[in-house]
Amino acid sequence: MIEVRHLTKQFGHHLAVNDISFSVEKREILAFLGPNGAGKSTTMRMITGFFPPTGGTVIIDGNDIRTDSLAARQKMGYLPENAPVYPDMRVTAYLNFCAEIRGLTGRSRRDRVAETLERCFLTHVRDQTVSTLSKGYKQRVCFAQSILHDPDYLILDEPTDGLDPNQKHEVRQMIREMSPSKAIIFSTHILDEVETVCSRAIIIADGKVVADDTPGGLKRRSSLHGTILLTAAGPLPDDICPYFEKITGVSQVAIVDTEQGRFTLRIFPDDPETSCINRILTAANWKNIDILSVSVEEGRLDEVFRQITADPEDA
């Protein structure tokens, strides 16, 4: 388990990370969200022991990163932001170096390096110099480095940044495949990733945790969560909004769109968790409305993200 306890980091007068606490168990994939400069990378650098916290600490499987740093680091794999790799080294030589540092020797080292090359789809570039590789491949080499020693804990700082959609998909796939045996923390700006990959998300803003929830739980915080979108053919009837608002369970109706012979309404229920779709459909039938589609909005993470992280002074 990774336990982050009251982690604080001060750079001069600037409080970059302000009393962050959370913990991640094995089998969990935690997404780390937040605007740029919120303190995500700083937090990850303290978790991995790159620099010491000003206050608080991190416990990796019982090893305190401040007092028992080497043991803690041995159990972690880390992919820093921008995936730094020595540009003048060949891929295999680089991974061999990392394996040697991690204490793998002889046959077990060769096997691990070969296995990791394969797993990260790097086998065909194994003899190339890193500087000749494209951004996506460099990212993979650095990723390979982080899983080389099969660590129990994986810290990935924007692992999909700068990759094309196919490569993003591959990285997500790898993260998901590894999750049964590991605790994984990764930071991202891509909110779709949160829904498809992780089991929990933490949003930080101004160095503080402002939300710690499942992706579904976060979506439920959206003001649009549980609203019903109804699209129908025909011109917009005049009294349609008050008509629907009379239905039990409906609190408000808004016109989203009217264009070329169709209109779309957004119906806000009193309680997002109890459906009133049946009553709405019945009411629509009475009015002879030609319904084209009906959908229930789950809520949008990007909206929740903006809502939570917006600076109150800006709002």
Partner 1 sequence: MHPKGNFVRILWAIMKRELAGYFGSPVAYVFLVIFLLLSGFFTFYLSRFFEAGQADLQGFFQWHPWLFMFLVPAVAMRLWAEERRLGTLELLFTFPVTPTEAILGKFLAAWCFIGIALFLTFPLVLTTLYLGSPDLGVTFCAYVGSFLMAGVFLSVGSMTSALTRSQVVSFILAVVICLFLILAGFPPIIQMFSGWAPLWLVDGVASISVITHFAAISRGVLDLRDILYYLSVMGFMIVVNGVILQNRESA
* CB of residue 82 to partner 1, shortest distance in Å: 6
How far apart are alpha carbons 17 and 12 in whole angstroms?
A: 12
Nearer Cβ to partner 1, position 41 or 188?
Answer: 41
How far apart are alpha carbons 30 and 22 in whole angstroms?
A: 10
Token output for 48: 């991995």
User: Which of 45, 112, 138, 200 is the binder for partner 1 (CB under 8 A)?
Assistant: 45
Token output for 114: 């070969």
Nearer Cβ to partner 1, position 145 or 227?
Answer: 145
Token output for 188: 């991202």
Terminal Cα distance for the chain, rounded: 38
Q: Which stretches of 44-122 are assigned E, i.e. beta strand?
A: 55-60, 63-64, 76-79
User: Which of 73, 112, 200, 219 is the binder for partner 1 (CB under 8 A)?
Assistant: 73
Binding of residue 86 to partner 1 (CB under 8 A): yes
Binding of residue 93 to partner 1 (CB under 8 A): yes
Nearer Cβ to partner 1, position 65 or 198?
Answer: 65
Binding of residue 50 to partner 1 (CB under 8 A): yes
Number of H helices, E strands in the chain: 11, 14
Binding of residue 70 to partner 1 (CB under 8 A): yes
User: Which of 49, 53, 207, 272 is the binder for partner 1 (CB under 8 A)?
Assistant: 49
How far apart are alpha carbons 204 and 20 in whole angstroms?
A: 9
Nearer Cβ to partner 1, position 68 or 271?
Answer: 68
Note whether 44 and 155 are within 8 A (CB).
yes
* CB of residue 68 to partner 1, shortest distance in Å: 9
Residue 264, classed as helix, strand or coil, is: strand
Token output for 69: 């740093």
Judged by CB under 8 A, the stretch of 67-75, 200-208, 256-264, 279-287 that binds partner 1 is 67-75
104-163: which residues touch partner 1 (CB under 8 A)?
105, 142, 145
User: Which of 11, 111, 115, 251 is the binder for partner 1 (CB under 8 A)?
Assistant: 11
Note whether 33 and 203 are within 8 A (CB).
yes
Binding of residue 37 to partner 1 (CB under 8 A): no
- Return left, alpha or beta for 139; rule: phi > 0 is left, psi -120 to 50 is alpha, else beta: alpha
Number of residues that bind partner 1 (CB under 8 A): 31
Binding of residue 85 to partner 1 (CB under 8 A): yes
Phi, psi at residue 60, to the nearest 5°? -105, 105
User: Which of 100, 111, 164, 270 is the binder for partner 1 (CB under 8 A)?
Assistant: 100
Contact set with partner 1 (CB under 8 A): 11, 45, 48-51, 70-71, 73-74, 76, 78, 80-82, 84-89, 93, 97-98, 100-103, 105, 142, 145
